[in-house]
């Protein structure tokens, strides 16, 4: 598993077992704006939910992710100390050619939006194929994940962090969809020279460089990257 923890070098990872029997990897994805860091457990559970699955158990290394108790309580998840010899791992890569718009539309069925009823889907291009993300809402609003960050955390965890290209984003109920401020910050950290293609609810699309979405974004050479 591949984390992105250049500021702390904390090795935080977990595997969440879904009801389907698949195991969803999650790793720590840090951000130069530290509060936007995604914990391993949040990444894994959102990946599980985004696959129309339900978390049932979790294997977590030390240090344990912040708020693990929240997630255990939220889904009645049991902590396990031992994994099967060869766990069946979820592979986020969609291989082969896809019909982009049809896939973005299909993915809306996986969005978990009990609070907003506002589905958002994303497809992130990598060297090896597309990785999907959908928006996930949980009882604590601030702990869900936007579609863009679900796709990014899946991609980094699966080892494609340095093979990312464009991201397609679709929101059928938004006349003009555009990534939120937190997603712009994460996109700027992870894929600053790439483009996002926004597929608006009114059937139009627009293409933007990530760096144009967050002018004068937060950065500081005094926050040291350890690698």
User: Could you list the active site residues?
Assistant: 148
| CB 147 to ligand THU: min, Å | 4
Determine the 3-state secondary structure of 135 from DSSP. coil
Binding residues for ligand THU (CB under 6 A): 113, 116, 118, 120, 135, 137, 144, 146-148, 179-180, 183
User: Which residues of the chain form beta strands (DSSP E)?
Assistant: 13-18, 23-27, 55-60, 78-79, 93-94, 121-126, 129-134, 164-170, 195-199, 205-209
Residue 68 CA to residue 103 CA, distance in Å, equals: 32
40 or 183, CB closer to ligand THU?
A: 183
| CB 110 to ligand THU: min, Å | 12
5 or 146, CB closer to ligand THU?
A: 146
| CB 81 to ligand THU: min, Å | 33
Q: Are 20 and 46 in contact (CB under 8 A)?
A: no
Q: Tokens 């090795």, residue?
A: 11
Q: Are 17 and 55 in contact (CB under 8 A)?
A: yes
| CB 183 to ligand THU: min, Å | 5
The DSSP letter of residue 169 is E
13 or 42, CB closer to ligand THU?
A: 42
164 or 198, CB closer to ligand THU?
A: 198
What DSSP string runs through 70-132?
A: HHHHHHTPEE-S---SS--B---EE-S---HHHHHHHHGGG-B-TTT----EEEEEETTEEEE
């Amino acid at each position: 598993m591949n984390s992105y923890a250049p500021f702390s070098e904390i090795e935080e990872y977990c595997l969440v077992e879904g009801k389907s029997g698949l195991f969803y990897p999650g790793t720590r994805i840090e951000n130069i704006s530290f509060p936007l860091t995604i914990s391993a457990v949040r990444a894994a559970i959102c990946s599980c939910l985004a696959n129309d699955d339900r978390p049932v158990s979790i294997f977590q290394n030390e240090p344990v992710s912040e708020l693990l108790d929240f997630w255990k309580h939220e889904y009645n998840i049991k902590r396990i100390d031992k994994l099967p010899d060869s766990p069946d791992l979820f592979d986020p890569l969609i291989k082969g050619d896809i019909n982009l718009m049809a896939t973005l539309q299909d993915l809306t069925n996986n969005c978990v939006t009990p609070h907003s009823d506002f589905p958002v889907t994303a497809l992130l291009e990598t060297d090896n194929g597309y990785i999907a993300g959908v928006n996930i809402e949980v009882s604590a609003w601030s702990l869900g994940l936007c579609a863009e960050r679900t796709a990014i955390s899946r991609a980094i965890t699966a080892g494609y962090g340095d093979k990312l290209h464009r991201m397609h984003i679709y929101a059928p109920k938004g006349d003009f969809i555009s990534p939120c401020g937190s997603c712009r910050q994460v996109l700027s950290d992870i894929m600053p020279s790439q483009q996002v293609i926004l597929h608006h609810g009114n059937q139009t699309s627009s293409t933007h460089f990530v760096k144009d979405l967050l002018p004068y974004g937060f950065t500081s050479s005094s926050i040291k990257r350890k690698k």
